[in-house]
């Protein structure tokens, strides 16, 4: 499964650290997030999470539906979850979130690492000056 938007102008990677409220011994995984949404674990096996949007933000759990799966094929669903305060959900779920994006047709730079961290203000005038 890969993320996409209407035009997918950018592509990239994401890394996240689970919130301390969910983490702990054996709890730093998707199941911890699924418990927050009170997922029926008897029927669904959580395998991922999808975050989408900016205004009108949504969260979906990616799950294997055990009742609809067969030995030949797992039935995977994207289950939208109700969220009371969409502005706070990132802070509730994650301690840290890192998103790196590149131009969608760039095959060179996504595979490289940067050599140095610098500050924008070291090379540009800002309103504070």
Pairing of strands 44-52, 58-65: antiparallel
Residue-wise pLDDT for 25-41, tens only, equals 666 789 999 999 999 99
Q: Using only the alpha carbons of the chain, give its radius of gyration.
A: 19
Residue-wise pLDDT for 32-69, tens only, equals 999 999 999 999 999 999 999 988 889 999 999 999 99
Cα distances from 77 to residues 1, 49, 63, 114, in angstroms, run 11, 11, 5, 37
pTM: 0.85
């Amino acid at each position: 499964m890969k993320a996409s938007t209407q035009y997918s102008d950018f592509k990239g990677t994401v890394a996240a650290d689970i919130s301390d409220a969910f983490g702990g011994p054996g709890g730093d995984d998707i199941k911890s997030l699924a418990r927050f949404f009170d997922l029926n674990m008897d029927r669904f096996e959580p395998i991922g999470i999808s975050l989408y949007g900016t205004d009108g933000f949504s969260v979906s759990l990616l799950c294997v539906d055990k009742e609809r799966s067969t030995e030949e094929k797992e039935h995977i669903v994207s289950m939208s979850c109700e969220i009371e305060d969409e502005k706070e959900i990132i802070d509730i779920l994650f301690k840290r979130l890192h998103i790196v994006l590149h131009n969608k047709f760039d095959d060179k730079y996504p595979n490289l690492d940067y050599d140095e961290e610098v500050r924008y203000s070291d090379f540009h005038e800002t309103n504070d000056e």
